[in-house]
A and B are shown apart, each in its own frame.
Chain A
Amino acid sequence: MSVGETGVAAASAGRASAGIAYLRGRTVARSLRAYVRWVGRAIGWWTVGYLIFWLVVFGISAFEALPRSAQPVPLDPVYYAGALVALWFLSVLLSGRVPPLNLDSRDLYRLALAPVSPHDVLAYRLWLRRGTRALGGAALGAIWALFASALLHRATPWAPLVGALLAVARFDVGWLRYVARTARGSSGSSPRTASLLLTVLGAASAALPSFLYFTGGAAPARDVGAAAVGLTVTSALWSGSWLVLVAPVLLAVAAHVAVRRSLREEWPPRFASQSLVLAQLQGLRSMQFLAALAGFGFSGVAGPGERERLLATLHDRPGSTRPRRSLPRPSADAPAWQGIAWRAATALYRRPVRTWFLLAAQVFAACCGGLVAAGQVVGGAAAVTAAPGAGGLAGSLGGALTVLVAGFLTARATAAFVGPGLPSKLAPVPASARNLGRSVPVLAALALFTPLAWFTTSLLPVAATVSSGLLAAYATILLTGVLAVEKYSSWTGVEPGRMEPQLVAALLVALPALILQALGYPDWVLGSQIALLLVVSLIEV
């Protein structure tokens, strides 16, 4: 009998959990093998071993080099740490709107819909999540143990274990909280009671020593006997007795039992739908991470607002199926550029309000950069007229670099405003209409922020006086930057959010200043910039 037949037989014999365990074993073993193979090829296990060896050596060296205070410091940090642990436990009350773990769509369709105990389906993921939490808690406990040894002169060997137990207990209470918040009617009463009771007990037990110390001056860490150590979950912060494990173990076991009970038969009502959305969000994040590693922009992975739409779906907020905001549309027989501008503006308008502030900051920075750079361009020409040769190469290049920075800031703002790419290779849209339409929103924003930027830069020591030359330099820097990003990204197909089109645009904007100032003709820069803008605007791509 093959391995596959064994697993199927076990499941069909009525032990569905055995079938799930078998399936899980297969998938985990397969992914582990793939991971081992990938690490072996991509990094090499000898390299990994080498890194781990030196990490251990450095860790031991750091521990041995840890300065030990001559006198133990007062025990105040113990009580602050205890209060923090209590607050951390209480913060569970704020959670519970989404499940702390989820299934992928495959498990959801194949396992969660099958007549199997929810706990059996979730067991692997629960233990995996508990394991990572335990590792985090143990790491924090270990750091505390080192700190206590060096500064408090206290041996707290159980701190890592207690840290792990508390982290696992808090995770389990978090699950109970989720079940309690989303359950309907009486089905949620048991988890509700359990989550509330365990949260209050955990937080009170952690806060008790701190409470006594801060309110009455009593110092339990110094004063109480060994028997009382077992009453609080944070005794491991100061005591080396094994009794410090009693309260954390009891809390973790109680939470674990309550979680098992909550998953005996029924799934939390919203778990499946939220799991699907969470799986999509995780997929989106993974794709964005991979895209970032590969040097692609985020917008190439998902359309604008896709993450926000998924989050709205996850939380049942408005905006998941219908837009929350809409801009008035130009008429259907309007020129194509108006429709394209509307499309780009709509993408911005439907972003979350908090994003608008970021976009506004980008535009404001571009305006300020443009004004300072324009001042440098005009000022450089004026300096040469007044005193030929003044400033030297370094001063000239400084002005050109300012233009380069301004071009880059403009390019970044443009990238955020042009909206998603259009199927212009298929639609009969002239390049000029696409270019104009996608540029209009950012140009409008730049115009809107110019007065504020003008006021701000006028307070700076580098402020230049208003002149037609300054305004012309300012307009050419911004316009060239905007047009260059849109045209380059449309021409090459490279996302405007990537560094490549932004750097190209910045270099293009700064090209006249870089060349002419280096050659000693700064008074030609403005004219060249205007000529460059004409060339860029006439190129039909």
Chain B
Amino acid sequence: MTPQNVDPVLSVASLSVRLGGVEIVSDADLRLAPGDLTLLTGPNGAGKSTFLRALVGLVPSSGDVEIVGRPPATLSGREGFVFVPDEPALYEDLTLAEHAYLNAVLYRDPGAEERALRLLEGFGLEGRLGEFPGTHSRGMRQKLSLSLAVALERPLTLLDEPFNGLDLEAQDRLAALLKRLSDGGRAVFLTGHQRDLAGLLDARVVEIVDGRLRPAAVADGAGAGARAR
């Protein structure tokens, strides 16, 4: 668990989300320290994506959220994180390489362009850098989306169902990348409905059940050869 004397990267207190009169998330508390790699699991429709979206203000919520000590809605707060939605949100008229460039410019991190290009190469997309993502498969678009996020090396990386649509090799590669981010002192918070991902990532697991966030017990050896399905 996060030591109380370390400044948290993500601090959530009493976060609740009500949508259409239905309480999706109730009174959730969470703290992530630098280097934390945490997986949020739960059944379909449990509110994993909603919780993640609420953290960055994409869903109206009540309670307190701070990312690197600042509210995520502020400019300085947004410096602290990068968010990847479950459906890759890409510009159909920009090439992969142009996405990497724009990403770097927007986050004022010139090195991020080069890192994103290297990550794309690592995902086997080196020959497709000049192509539009609209012509690519779901998995390829997901690889682009993830490469852009990971390349930014923000203090907190938030990923919604990042393993969906990836081939086996890419899943292994993504797991290694996330572990490397975590080892480098960056916090990673991701959702997934596959409990065995925890083993693959060697991650702390929290689950959301009936709108409540709670630590989850993971069976021994759950991660051996685990893959996202």
- Give me 8 A-to-B residue pairs in the complex whose CB atoms sit less than 8 angstroms apart, sorted by A's number: A320-B135, A321-B131, A322-B95, A322-B132, A336-B105, A346-B98, A422-B106, A426-B56
Q: Kindly specify which of A127-135, A196-204, A300-308, A486-494 makes contact with the partner chain.
A: A300-308
Contact of A426 among B76, B78, B134 (CB under 8 A): B78
Smallest distance from the beta carbon of B113 to chain A beta carbons, Å?
5
B-chain residues with CB within 8 Å of residue A350 when the two chains form the complex:
93
CB pair A323–B93 under 8 Å, yes or no, is yes
Residues of chain A contacted by B73 (CB below 8 angstroms): 425
- Name the segment of A241-249, A289-297, A325-333 touching the other chain: A325-333
Within 8 A of A (CB), among B120-140: 130-132, 134-135
**Which residues in B have some Cβ–Cβ distance to A below 8 Å?**
56-58, 73, 75-76, 78-79, 82-83, 89, 91-95, 98, 101-102, 104-108, 110, 113, 130-132, 134-135
Whether the Cβ atoms of B89 and A423 lie closer than 8 Å is: yes
In the complex, the answer to whether A322 meets B131 with C-beta atoms within 8 Å is: yes
Distance from B199 Cβ to chain A, minimum over Cβ atoms (Å): 31
Question: How far apart are the CA atoms of A329 and B104 in the complex, in Å?
Answer: 12
Measured CB to CB, the residues of A under 8 A from B are 302-306, 309, 313, 320-323, 326, 329-334, 336, 338-340, 342-343, 346-347, 350, 420, 422-423, 425-430
Do B104 and A332 touch (CB < 8 A)?
yes
Q: Is the pair B135, A303 in contact by a Cβ cutoff of 8 Å? A: no
* Set of chain B residues within 8 Å of A430, measured between Cβ atoms: 75
| A57 to B184 CA separation, bound complex (whole angstroms) | 81
In this complex, which of B79, B83, B98, B110 has the most chain A Cβ atoms within 10 angstroms of its Cβ?
B98
Residues of A within 8 A of B130 (CB): 322
B110 x A303 contact (CB < 8 A): no
Q: Which residue of B lies closest to A304 (CB)?
A: B93
Q: B110–A332 contact, CB under 8 A?
A: yes
B75 touches A321 (CB 8 A): no
Which A residues are CB-close (under 8 A) to B93?
303-306, 309, 323, 346-347, 350
Cβ-defined contact, A346 with B94, below 8 A: yes
Complex Cα spacing A323 to B133, Å: 11
Contact check, A339 vs B106: say whether CB atoms are below 8 A apart.
yes
> How distant is the Cα of A430 from the Cα of B78 in the complex, in angstroms?
10
Residue on B nearest A302 in the bound complex, by CB: B92
Tell me whether A332 and B78 are in contact (CB under 8 A): no
A323–B83 CB distance below 8 A: no
Query: A residues within 8 A CB of B132?
Result: 309, 320-323
How far is B105's CA from A427's CA once the two chains are assembled, in angstroms? 10
Smallest CB-CB separation from B136: which chain A residue?
Answer: A321
Residues of A within 8 A of B75 (CB): 428-430
Residues in A whose Cβ lies below 8 Å from that of B76: 428
Distance in Å: Cβ of A356 to nearest Cβ of chain B: 15
**Interchain CA distance A526-B76 in the complex, whole Å:** 38
Contacts of B94 in A (CB 8 A): 343, 346
Are the C-beta atoms of A330 and B105 separated by less than 8 Å? yes
Give A326 to B129 CA distance when docked, in angstroms.
14
Question: In the complex, what distance in Å separates the CA atom of A330 from the CA atom of B98?
Answer: 11
Is A332's CB under 8 angstroms from B134's CB? no
Q: A331-B110, A425-B57 are in contact. Are A339 and B102 (CB under 8 A)?
A: yes
B118 to chain A, nearest CB (A): 14
Alpha-carbon gap, A330 to B110, bound state (A) = 11
Residues of B contacting A347 with CB < 8 Å? 93
Contact A332 B113 (CB under 8 A): yes
Return chain B residues, CB-CB under 8 Å to A339. 101-102, 105-106
Instruction: Decide if B83 touches A426 in the complex (CB within 8 Å).
Output: yes
What are the residues of chain A within 8 A of B57 when measuring CB–CB?
Answer: 425
Q: Report the Cα distance A36→B155, complex, angstroms.
A: 56
